[in-house]
Structure 1
């Protein structure tokens, strides 16, 4: 006799892909020379240490939610998908002013997405890759149809403007992708993890300002992240030589270049295009990877069909990455 209480489970499509990309940055450009007027630093010192030339700062009344709405709307326009077709919204971030209400429900409503599943995700600078992995799995499990993932940060609210080590790095912005079903795999499996024993290397000072042990984070990122990127390729059935575009989290240009060098030592091509969005966008945490992707598409550095390898890492310490096909 069949137990009538046996539960059903959804079954979704076998594959997913990114079908739209969008981004937004505030209008205010802050150069290294601008920062030198309020702290002891100069243009060359900043370029030598982190590779940043300029970054974007939001105005005081320009909120994280505002930037997320603009990036998410841009991704929908790029995809040609109507908001009514989206049933889930994920907003990776670590800088919402308060835990309640979350950003996702507000963002969805303002974009015109009615009654979606909506939640924020905090994995700091690894947040976008976490969100992309969750979105893909939700669709394949049959729990969602189309998912809008928006990495958005207003980091200037969380940085002491007189703290030279951090004030030169962080900036504001948002980047988004729309994820949907696909006949062929367009997003590889996520590889993720954390190093909780190093949690104190990036934290909030006085529950207000970001504090990081710069050298410790640098050593961790330059030694531990490349193997994680290689694992993401292995899970996707790819070789380093298959990668057309590498987009690490834009934390520090020296870290980005170190990861690329290690991947090339394992077989990645010399003509692999490596994101360097940090030069003109700064470190935008969970927004940095989709921002870089959108900028690289618009300038032709990332083309439709390219194999992209993304890898995020940051506070937690958390990390995540996956390969995907550029839309």
Structure 2
């Protein structure tokens, strides 16, 4: 007996994006009132000017629903058309139940395949790669990917090394079939020997060895970005928009500089959403792109190079066409 396989789409593309952030704005001056820090110290080290913190009763799932609603509207896709929901995150209050099934139900996406994906700050790029492959394999028709994080639940509020960096929010993308490729192959991997550089202390507080992570990211991530371009058959000069995970503005600048040394254009737009959003882990890439598009600095049809990296250590990236 021969098993039968489904026929998937020839290619995939991002159909729409959306994002949401909490209303509460927290400035560097606000943080200086509760810990030994100041505005200039924070700007010099990580580039953040302000970030958004969710209220206690605003849950990760709540933000994921808002971002998913926005992305579906942008894509012109009805919930009934979506059959799979993936929620990359690393900050649910408990591992069970997952976020995805709750989000799918609240969005009116019934009987969907629904799962969370934990690759920390690389989560969105991991999930985008999985979504694209599910559609091409015939396992899914349209997939909603929502990177959502409530990092303030997992950060010691007076830890000056980490509380200044992390924030809350959600960013989403709808992925669907296409006749021509709109999402390139994912370039991904991990460095499990460096697992102790980002971890949860006492199973309660997120902690990272900042200098170790900085050295790793500024030396190892640009080659992964170049690999993603190679897999997609693109040159660095083809990239219109670079959206690295918004971990640290100095890391973002270092990645952009290395790509330009390898042929990227001087007019390549580089995401700097961390200035006003902080580090939102798996939400940072779709949120940054959504904000850039709203400001008019990127447009439909632009070639986007996304690259995520974080705890694990995990990394992933791909090129795709901006919806």
Output the TM-score relative to the length of structure 1. 0.98
Matched, 1:108 2:113: no
How far off its partner does 1:14 sit?
Answer: 1.1
SS where residue 303 of structure 1 aligns? coil
- 1:217-232 aligned at under 5 Å gives the runs 217-232=213-228
**1:146 matched residue in structure 2:** 142
- 1:182-221 aligned at under 5 Å gives the runs 182-221=178-217
How far off its partner does 1:189 sit?
Answer: 0.1
**2:288 matched residue in structure 1:** 292
**2:117 matched residue in structure 1:** 121
- 1:11-22 aligned at under 5 Å gives the runs 11-22=7-18
Question: Which sits farther off after the overlay, 296-305 or 224-233?
Answer: 296-305
**2:74 matched residue in structure 1:** 78
**2:35 matched residue in structure 1:** 39
**1:69 matched residue in structure 2:** 65
**1:301 matched residue in structure 2:** 297
How far off its partner does 1:129 sit?
Answer: 0.1
For 2:161 and 2:225, locate their aligned partners in 1 and report how far apart those are by CA, in whole Å. 27
In the alignment, which of 225, 231, 254 is matched to residue 235 of structure 1? Answer: 231
SS where residue 143 of structure 1 aligns? coil
Once the two structures are superposed, residues 167-192 of structure 1 have per-residue CA deviations (whole angstroms, 9 ceiling, x without a partner) of: 00000000000000001100000000
How far off its partner does 1:240 sit?
Answer: 0.2
In the alignment, which of 230, 247, 250 is matched to residue 246 of structure 2? Answer: 250
Once the two structures are superposed, residues 66-104 of structure 1 have per-residue CA deviations (whole angstroms, 9 ceiling, x without a partner) of: 000000000001111110000000000000011110000
Question: Which sits farther off after the overlay, 231-240 or 7-16?
Answer: 7-16
Matched, 1:30 2:26: yes
**1:89 matched residue in structure 2:** 85
Q: How many residues align?
A: 323
Matched, 1:270 2:271: no
Structure 1 unmatched ranges of 5 or more: none
State the Cα RMSD in Å. Answer: 0.4
SS where residue 44 of structure 2 aligns? helix
**1:98 matched residue in structure 2:** 94
How far off its partner does 1:300 sit?
Answer: 1.0
Once the two structures are superposed, residues 13-60 of structure 1 have per-residue CA deviations (whole angstroms, 9 ceiling, x without a partner) of: 110000010000000000000000000000000000000000000000
SS where residue 162 of structure 2 aligns? helix
Once the two structures are superposed, residues 266-312 of structure 1 have per-residue CA deviations (whole angstroms, 9 ceiling, x without a partner) of: 00000000000000000000000000010011111111100000000
SS where residue 161 of structure 2 aligns? helix
How far off its partner does 1:136 sit?
Answer: 0.2
For 1:20 and 1:240, locate their aligned partners in 2 and report how far apart those are by CA, in whole Å. 24
For 2:195 and 2:320, locate their aligned partners in 1 and report how far apart those are by CA, in whole Å. 29
**1:320 matched residue in structure 2:** 316
SS where residue 267 of structure 2 aligns? coil
For 1:240 and 1:9, locate their aligned partners in 2 and report how far apart those are by CA, in whole Å. 37
For 1:326 and 1:301, locate their aligned partners in 2 and report how far apart those are by CA, in whole Å. 12
